[in-house]
Amino acid sequence: MSTVDWKNYDPVLIPDIKDLHQIDVYIKHNGYKAFESVLKDKMKWPDQKSVINEVKEANIRGRGGAGFNAGLKWSFMPPSDGGARYLACNGDESEPGTFKDRKIFEYNPHVFIEGALIAAYAMEITTIYVYIRGEYRVYIEMMEKAIADAYSKGYIGKNILGSGFSVDFYVHSGAGAYICGEETSMLESLEGKRGYPRVKPPFPAQKGLWGRPTTINNIETLAHVPAVISKGASWFKNIGAANHPGPILYGISGHVNKPGVYELPTGVPVLDLIHDVAGGMRNGKKLKAVIPGGSSTPVLRADQLDGITMDSESLRTVGSMLGTAGMVVMDEDTDMVDVLWRIAHFYHHESCGQCTPCREGTGWLEKILLKIKNGDGEVKDLDLLLDLTTQMEGRTICALADAAAWPVRFTINRFRDEFEARCKKSAFALA
Amino acid sequence: MPEVIIDGKSYNYEGKHKLLQFIQDLGKEVPFFCYHPSMSIPANCRQCMVKVGQYVIDRESGNHELDDKGDKVVRWFPKLQTACNIDVADGMVVHTQETDELVRRAQKDNLELILINHPLDCPICDQAGECPLQIQTYKYGPEGSRFEVKKVHKPKRIQLGPRVVLDAERCINCTRCTRFTEEISKTNQLTITRRGDKNYPITAPGTEFDDLYSLNTVDICPVGALTSTDFRFKARVWEMNQTPGIDITNGKGCNIDLWTRDNLVLRITPRYNKDVNDHWMPDSGREAYKLFNENRISRPLQKLDGEQILSSWNNAIATFNEQIDGTDSKNTLVIGSPHASVEENYSLAKFSNLLGIKQPVFVPHIVEGSGDGFLISDDQAPNTNGCRLLGFTELDVKSIKNAVKKASLIILLSDHLLDRGVLSEKDLDGKFLVVLATNHSHTTKLADLVIPVTTAAEHAASYVNVDSRIQRTFRAKETKYTNRRLDLEMSEGRLDRYGTNFDNWVTEENKIDCLPVWRFITQAASARGLDMVLTEGRQIMEEIASSLEPFKGVNYQLMDEHAGILLKTETELKESVKQ
């Protein structure tokens, strides 16, 4: 296996430039050049399709967790009928362990704005919404300022840079619901409704916001677009893992010495990220478990991590997923029962309540886990938990039931001894 | 023709269908809660899970691909699908709970989840007996529960509005009620609040659920979460008789069911008729159940020295005939009623024709602007068009006053003209007023002779609604002179059939001493030696159909088969005569 050369990587999303969030500084460092070339360089970009093809070619796999090729998603938009078309940018990031988009809002908002504008041009979008998690009050204000600056410089608005292309850009604040990070319930929320996921089909590209064609992309996904346009798809494709290429923001948290967001190529070995990038385990403790990509991705035991790299193919071999690359690192003192109960508590609290299996199942999972945590559980409860996960998985409108069920299933399967040890001793013990 | 294979049987179909509705239309069953044929499909209860696949067709030959055993290969969807929102497609293969263990298991799992936070208070729940959750749990649910922790507690006994009470704990969040206010009544008064297993429907703070159609949410609620303030705790559904009828409080003529126990109408619910009211009815029509029970006139009343006293039928008939004999037929005014049925109006008209009295007149009861364009019409009476088609003279307020002024004997059928402000006490000074009516009112109080007649709940008779649709009622309630057991058309509930005389629900007072209009008229006619025998609605309608052009071909059999018949309106009739 060829290892990814991450040590010599030069960050493009969050480079070490002072005051990059200010539009003048951003422009000074070649900001909005990619957008300008897309609008004006007719030799290189004869039409919108050429932009979409370049992005498709780069294989930017959606950074919101699903990992779908962004360019391919763009190509699903039907031809324009002259009416409204929307780009909804998903900055709701609310999954425990995930905190990468805030870094973009804070340090380099314009790279995202530029990426969204290129996407808007490529798909003939008329209005862009950026939906930001409500708790990110300060970033919402920063984004509003960044967008106002871009308006005043003429990068957003009517007839941008004399190209004839016009687009509007709005910030929409979430109100503290995890479910609104699910793309279709985000659309409902944008429409001012209760955040209930929609039944698909129809897909947003056919019927999205207010029944009009809509594309939904993650903030980080769009932030990659300017570099793809200016440096070319082949540059992007040659970074990181072959099937899941490009730079990615790793959000590393937990029992490490230097938690934080790191921009590196995909496909970095998990152990390198923990020991080299994040400064090793705190207090020299032993590594026990890692949740690789946000709380819904299956947890991995330390002994599963040898040679595993951070890309969807490699993680799949040990039964997990890249998700949002929000890693949670846990040391030997961690109580997995507590961890799982806390995760279950989160999903119980955040289930929107639309579908029966998730509404009722998440609560039941949490209550049983609480019982086990308090030492009142029985071993049969573990089997009930596993049974419930099968009752929930794949039976709901959106993937939240799966997201709630997977941690339970895999944490119990991978740390069963620890759970059994917390359960009451059977009155009919055999030995 | 496209074909779909359900549980191994092939069905041809045309047009677009949702799978769940298609299966139901075949007479088969898949359990569900949130789906309602007249509203949008949210697919949120997740109960109607079925296994769906598609035959694999070989691209080159265009034939079905076959496996080793020679069976057609099916490519199944990776997950189970909800039948409610999936379109039936050509070559679709469906396994329901009848043939597939996985589907059975999934449906059982889902019911187990629905039930964990549902209070199992069926013994005190109004919905018990007609509860989709109860019925489907018995059929498809788990035998017990593995839920050994604490249930979620939510608000109970919330008065959402004047007519609807919410028990949030029973709610299973199917959103039928919120969708109803959004899509059908369009008031948007209900919404779901809170999140996850704590959510329930409620109104916005400071507002109340006073939707004119609010009680429909009680009907469509698949559990006992929404109950009617009025009907709550009055009766168990299995104690009642359910009899079809027509809403008589409004010109629309919504199809309804009358729910009776011990000869009292306890509630009214809408009955599906796609051409009239779909699944719905306004709350105002449901309040009418009181008209059938309360304030009823029982036994004839006659004025003696200025005061009404209870009389006997013999005396009443004698007085009635004496008054007719003692008055010049020119001075006798017969007033028909848009509130009475076609048969009642016809009986009166036939009688007066035989006596040489002028054709009856009637005063429409239309309040301009009171309708809403949906199921509440401007017309406050159920049979205005019926009176028109019978050829009654339509009078406005001014001309009825003139007509009354000229008359000395007034025979008034089921229309409280004083109460609705058409006539005043002064107009009736010195006249002899005969009123045939069902309920006491200011008008009946002034009458010199009051004949108690049957309501729409006590006779079978037909009404022509604002759209000229003729529909009929059934006998739901016994009078002193009818007997449920001897009447083939009357429904007999469990208590009627198995109760004994010692059971306390047989209350003789609930049977009103009244006669159908035609029975009274027949008795009055026979006392005069007239050859006129009208026995019941069915026979009268046959007579009407054979003698009056607008009703040609109408009979009860046809009305029952087609849930009402569309008649030609007056104007249409006139035009067809011209041509």
The model's pLDDT over A378-414, given as tens digits with 9 standing for 90+, comes to 999 999 999 999 999 999 999 999 999 999 999 999 9
Quick check: do A23-237 and A336-422 share a fold?
Answer: no
Q: What is the fold of B117-228?
A: Alpha-Beta Plaits (3.30.70)
Interface A:B, Cβ pairs < 8 A: 91
Contact flag B195-A352 (C-beta cutoff 8 Å): yes
DSSP string, B496-537: HHH--TTSTT--GGGSB--B-HHHHHHHHHHHTT-------H
Q: Is the pLDDT of residue A426 over 70?
A: no
Phi-psi label, residue A353: left if phi above 0, alpha if psi -120 to 50, beta otherwise: left
Architecture of domain B301-370+377-474+512-578: 3-Layer(aba) Sandwich (3.40)
Cα separation, B463 vs A264, whole angstroms = 80
Asked if residue A70 lies in contact with residue A61, where contact means CB atoms within 8 angstroms, the answer is: yes
Question: Read out DSSP for A85-105?
Answer: -EEEEEE---STT---HHHHH
- String of DSSP letters for B200-221: EEEEPTT-----TTTHHHHHH-
B398-427 in b/e form (b: 16+ CB < 10 A) is: eebeebbeebbbbbbbbbbbbebebbeeeb
Minimum distance, in Å, between the CA of residue B554 and any CA atom of chain A: 48
The segments of chain B whose pLDDT lies below 70 read 503-505, 577-579
List the domain boundaries for chain A.
Answer: 23-237, 247-331, 336-422
Residue A61 bridge partners (DSSP): A69
Judge: A199–B79 Cβ closer than 8 Å, yes or no: no
Could you give the residue ranges of the DSSP H alpha helices within A249-335?
270-272, 312-317
- Residue A284 to chain B, least CA–CA distance (Å): 40
Chain A nearest-CA distance from B59, in A, is: 25
Structural class in CATH, domain A247-331: alpha beta
**Parallel, antiparallel, or unpaired for β B158-159 and B164-166?**
antiparallel
pLDDT at A431 over 60: no
In this structure, which amino acid lies at residue A211?
G
| Residue B123 distance to chain A (closest CA, Å) | 24
Chain A residues closer than 8 Å to B172 by CB: 356
The reply to whether residue A364 touches residue B45, judged by beta carbons under 8 angstroms, is: no
Q: Hey, where are the domains in chain B?
A: 3-112, 117-228, 301-370+377-474+512-578
Cα separation, A363 vs A369, whole angstroms:
10
Q: Minimal Cα distance from A393: which residue of B?
A: B79
| CA neighbor of A286 nearest in space, from A245, A334, A326 | A334
Q: Which residues contact A390 (CB under 8 A, 6 or more apart)?
A: A405, B109
> With an 8 Å Cβ cutoff, are A363 and B199 in contact?
no
- Sorted by sequence, the CB contacts under 8 Å of residue A38 that are 6+ apart come out as A45, A51, A118, A121, A122, A229
Residue A429 has pLDDT above 60, yes or no: no
Burial class (CB in 10 A: 0-12, 13-18, 19+), B326: exposed
* Cα–Cα separations (whole angstroms), residue B180 to B195, B208, B215: 20, 16, 11
How close are the terminal C-alpha atoms of chain A, in Å?
47
- Considering only the beta carbons, identify the residue of A384, A390, A397 that sits closest to B44: A397
d(CA B392, CA B389): 8
For residue B195, give how far its alpha carbon lies from the nearest alpha carbon of chain A (Å). Answer: 5
Say which of B47, B147, B199 has its CB closest to residue A364.
B147
User: Strand (E) positions, A126-177?
Assistant: 127-132, 168-173
Please give, rounded to a whole number of angstroms, the shortest distance from the CA of A377 to a CA of chain B.
11
Question: Which residue, B393, B363, B356, B524, is CA-closest to B451?
Answer: B524
- CA A243 from centroid of its chain's CA atoms: 18
Question: In chain A, what percentage of residues exceed pLDDT 90?
Answer: 95
A341 vs A360: CA distance, rounded Å: 16
| Contact flag A199-B43 (C-beta cutoff 8 Å) | yes
The CA distance from A197 to the nearest CA of chain B, in Å, is 10
Note the pLDDT tens digit of each residue in A334-388.
999 999 999 999 999 999 999 999 999 999 999 999 999 999 999 999 999 999 9
CA distance B288 to B293: 9
Above 70 in pLDDT, residue A297?
yes
Q: Which residue from B44, B110, B116 is facing A354, i.e. has the nearest CB?
A: B44
Beta-carbon separation of B116 and A364 below 8 A? yes
Determine the 3-state secondary structure of B548 from DSSP: coil
Chain A residues with beta carbon closer than 8 angstroms to that of B195: 177, 179, 349-353
Nearest to B146 among A352, A354, A384 (CB): A384
Confidence of residue A1 (pLDDT cuts 50, 70, 90): very low
CA–CA dist A92, A176 (Å, integer): 9
Does the CA dihedral B14-B19-B22-B28 come out positive or negative? positive
Q: Cis peptide leading into A201, omega within 30 of 0?
A: yes
Q: Degrees (nearest 5) of the Cα angle B173, B281, B272?
A: 85
Residue A291 has pLDDT above 60, yes or no: yes
What six digits make up the tokens of A230? 């200016």
CA–CA gap between residue B389 and residue B345 (Å, rounded)? 11
Cα dihedral A299→A302→A303→A309 (10° resolution): 80
Set of chain B residues whose Cβ sits within 8 Å of the Cβ of A382: none
Q: Which of B114, B149, B191 sits opposite A371 (nearest CB)?
A: B149
- The values of phi and psi at residue B278, to 5°, are 50, -125
Note whether A353 contacts B198, CB cutoff 8 Å: yes
Residues contacting A208, CB < 8 A, separation 6+: A86, A88, A187, A214, A215, A216
Alpha-carbon gap: B243 to the closest alpha carbon of chain A (Å): 36
| Phi-psi sector, B221: left (phi>0), alpha (psi -120 to 50), beta | beta
Question: At CB < 8 Å, which residues of chain A contact B?
Answer: 177, 179, 194, 196, 199, 348-357, 359-364, 367-368, 371, 384, 390-391, 394-397
Given 1.25.40.10, 3.10.20.740, 3.40.50.10860, 3.30.565.10, which CATH number is that of B3-112?
3.10.20.740
Give the one of B47, B85, B197 whose C-beta lies nearest to A359's C-beta: B197
Query: Which chain B residues are Cβ-neighbours of A355 within 8 angstroms?
Result: 44-46
- One-letter amino acid at A140 equals I
**CA distance, residue A350 to nearest chain B CA (Å):** 7
Contact B197 A360 (CB under 8 A): yes
B110, B152, B192: residue with CB nearest A356: B110
CA dist A99 and A95 (Å) reads: 8
User: How many C-beta atoms surround the C-beta of residue A299 within 10 A?
Assistant: 26
DSSP state of B455: -
Query: What's the pLDDT tens digit per position in A110-164?
Result: 999 999 999 999 999 999 999 999 999 999 999 999 999 999 999 999 999 999 9
**Secondary structure letter of residue A197 according to DSSP:** P
Are A84 and A208 a contacting pair, CB within 8 Å?
A: no
| Chain A residue whose CA is closest to B172 | A356
Task: Please give the structure tokens belonging to residue B566.
Answer: 């569309």
Pick from B45, B146, B194: which is nearest to A356 by CB? B45
Decide if domain A23-237 falls under CATH 3.40.50.300: no
> Cβ distance B338 to B415 under 8 Å?
yes
Residue B49 to residue A352, Cβ atoms within 8 A: no
Long-range contacts of residues A279-285, Cβ cutoff 8 Å, at least 24 apart: A280/A256, A281/A255, A281/A256, A281/A257, A281/A329, A281/A331, A282/A255, A282/A256, A282/A257, A282/A331, A283/A331, A285/A255, A285/A331, A285/A332, A285/A333
From the list B376, B389, B333, B323, the residue with the least C-alpha distance to B571 is B389
Which of A322, A324, A303 has its CA nearest to residue A241? A322
Does the A336-422 domain belong in CATH 1.20.1440.230?
A: yes
CB atoms within 10 A of CB B259: 23
Q: Count the neighbouring beta carbons within 10 Å of the beta carbon of residue A111.
A: 28
> Which residue of chain B comes nearest to A195, CA vs CA?
B195
Confidence of residue A428 (pLDDT cuts 50, 70, 90): low
- Residue in B49, B113, B146 nearest the CB of A360: B113
Residue B446, classed as helix, strand or coil, is: helix
| Residue among B441, B382, B436 at smallest CA distance from B410 | B436
| Residue given tokens 């009211």 in the structure block | B277
- Residue A127 and residue A167 in contact, taking contact as beta carbons nearer than 8 Å: yes
Nearest to residue B413, comparing CAs of B437, B449, B383?
B437
State pLDDT tens for residues A236-280: 999 999 999 999 999 999 999 999 999 999 999 999 999 999 999
DSSP per-residue letters across B393-405? EE--HHHHHHHHH
Q: Hey, are the CB atoms on B47 and A356 less than 8 Å from each other? A: yes
Give the tens place of pLDDT for each residue, A184-209.
999 999 999 999 999 999 999 999 99
Choose among B485, B479, B475: nearest CA to B509: B479
B interface with A, Cβ–Cβ < 8 A, is 41-47, 49, 78-80, 85, 106, 109-110, 112-114, 116-117, 146-147, 149-150, 152, 172-173, 191-192, 194-199
What residues are paired with A158 via a beta bridge? none
> Do the strands B469-472 and B565-566 form a parallel or antiparallel pair, or are they unpaired?
antiparallel
Placement of tokens 């329901």 in the chain: B96
pLDDT at A430 over 70: no
Residue found by looking up tokens 């590594």 in the block: A287
Residue B196 to residue A348, Cβ atoms within 8 A: yes
pLDDT for res B27: 96
> Which of B32, B103, B197, B200 is the best residue to mutate to test the A interface, defined by the most A CB atoms within 10 Å of its own CB?
B197
Q: Give yes or no for a contact between B3 and B91, defined as CB atoms under 8 angstroms apart.
A: yes
CA atoms within 13 A on the CB side of B152: 31
